[in-house]
Amino acid sequence: MRIDIITVSPELMKSPFEHSILKRAQEKGKVEIHFHDLREYAINKYGKIDDYQFGGGAGMVLMMEPIDKCLSQLMQKRKYDEVIYMTPDAPSLNQQMANSLSAKENLIILTGHYKGVDQRVRDKFVTKEVSIGDYVLSGGELAAVVLCDAVIRLIPGVLGDETSALTDSFQDNLLAPPVYTRPADYKGMKVPDILLSGNFPKIDEWRHEQALKRTRLIRPDLLEEESLDE
């Protein structure tokens, strides 16, 4: 997979891709990340990329021209499956979305700043809009990192068996069951006996029951979604 990220702050975004699973995914050749600094496509030599909004009101808007130039250059070189704009006024990211994006080959992620981007960018270029939740961040960079992490870890071969995504929350509309590690008894706080029993069918059954219990308690809406899917 190749991901091209358009941003006014490439430096803000780089570090998460230089560590842990995101770093290893690139080393294994599973994903290529390319940052594009919007200021390199500025409309003048002073680096202008934003302007006041028509109709008045506080806050600058990212202009159409620099984004058009950057996107057009990229789109001339290859075909993209999606041009994604990170924005709070969009459907929220979920595991289903991440699963589906993890099967794509080429993605562009556009991150906004200030009041956002000129609406005409969204109308002309953007094929998918993604929010990471009902709150407003200062810029789309951190949101794009969240999206990339959620997607990249699902690309086959990125995670080893020990961190398999298949048993994580949301994969089957359930929250994950509790997990424990050594010691089996920490100052009187004991691990449930079943996990020490070696009876794997029973352990699976227990985990499923725990997952159901947690989901009913914390996210009953997921179980409703499950019955709607059927």
Complex with ligand SAM: residue 119 or 163, whichever CB lies closer: 119
- Min dist CB 11 to ligand SAM, Å, is 17
Nearer to ligand SAM, 144 or 174 (CB): 144
Q: How far is CA 50 from the centre of its chain?
A: 26
- The CA dihedral of 158, 162, 167, 168, to the nearest 10 degrees, is -70
Quote the least distance from Cβ 105 to ligand SAM, whole Å: 23
**The pair of three-digit structure tokens given for residue 24, joined into one six-digit string:** 């290893």
Q: How buried is 86 (Cβ within 10 angstroms: 0-12 exposed, 13-18 middle, 19+ buried)? A: buried
Which tokens sit at 221?
A: 């809406």
Cα dihedral sign for 210, 97, 86, 10?
positive
Least Å distance between CB 130 and ligand SAM?
Answer: 7
> Whole-number minimum distance, CB 148 to ligand SAM, in Å?
13
Mapping DSSP onto H, E and C, the string for 131-146 reads: ECCCCCCCCCHHHHHH
Helix or strand run (H / E) with residue 228: helix 220-229
- Site of interaction with ligand SAM (CB under 6 A): 86-89, 111-113, 115-116, 131-133, 135-140, 143
DSSP string, 66-78: HHHHHHHHHHHHS
Read off the amino acid at residue 96: Q
**Residue nearest ligand SAM by beta-carbon distance:** 112
Q: Nearest distance from residue 197's CB to ligand SAM, in Å?
A: 44
